[in-house]
Amino acid sequence: MTPPLVSVIIPTYNRGAWVAAAIRSALAQSYPCTQIIVIDDGSTDDTRTQVAAFEGVEYYYQANAGQAAARNAGLRHCIGTYVASLDSDDTWSPDFLTAGVAAMQKHALDFVFLNWTASNGHNGLESFLHLPERRQRYCAQSDAEWWLLEATQTRQLFIETCPAPSSSLLLRRADLPPSAWNESMRIADDWCLMLDLVLSRPRRGAFTTVAHWQKTVHGGNIYDGRDPLAVIQELGFHDEKQLVTRFQHQLKAPERAVFRQRLARNNFEFAYHNWKVRNPTRTVVRHLTLAFALAPLIIFRHSLKGLLGHLKKQQWLTR
For residue 204, the SS3 value is coil
| H or E element, residue 271 | helix 253-276
| pLDDT at res. 80 | 99
**Count of Cβ atoms closer than 10 Å to residue 107 Cβ:** 16
Q: What is the largest CA-CA distance in the chain?
A: 71
Q: Which domains does the chain have, with CATH numbers?
A: 6-215 (3.90.550.10), 228-318 (no CATH)
Alpha-carbon distance of 137 to 139, in angstroms, equals 6
Alpha-carbon distance of 132 to 125, in angstroms, equals 13
| pLDDT at res. 221 | 55
| pLDDT at res. 307 | 59
| pLDDT at res. 317 | 46
Per DSSP bridges, beta strands 34-41 and 169-172 are: unpaired
Query: In sequence order, what DSSP letters do the residues of 213-267 get, joined into one string?
Result: EEEPP-TT-SSTTS-HHHHIIIIIIIIHHHHHHHHTTTS-HHHHHHHHHHHHHHH
Q: What are the backbone dihedrals phi and psi of residue 300, each rounded to the nearest 5 degrees, phi first?
A: -60, -45
Per-position pLDDT tens, the chain of length 319: 789 999 999 999 999 999 999 999 999 999 999 999 999 999 999 999 999 999 999 999 999 999 999 999 999 999 999 999 999 999 999 999 999 999 999 999 999 999 999 987 778 888 778 777 888 888 878 898 999 999 999 999 999 999 999 999 999 999 999 999 999 999 999 999 999 999 999 999 999 999 999 999 876 555 555 788 999 999 999 999 999 999 999 999 999 999 999 999 999 999 989 988 888 889 999 999 999 999 988 888 877 776 566 556 655 444 4
| pLDDT at res. 68 | 98
Contact 192, 259 (CB under 8 A): no
Give strand pairing partners of 206: 112, 148
| pLDDT at res. 286 | 94
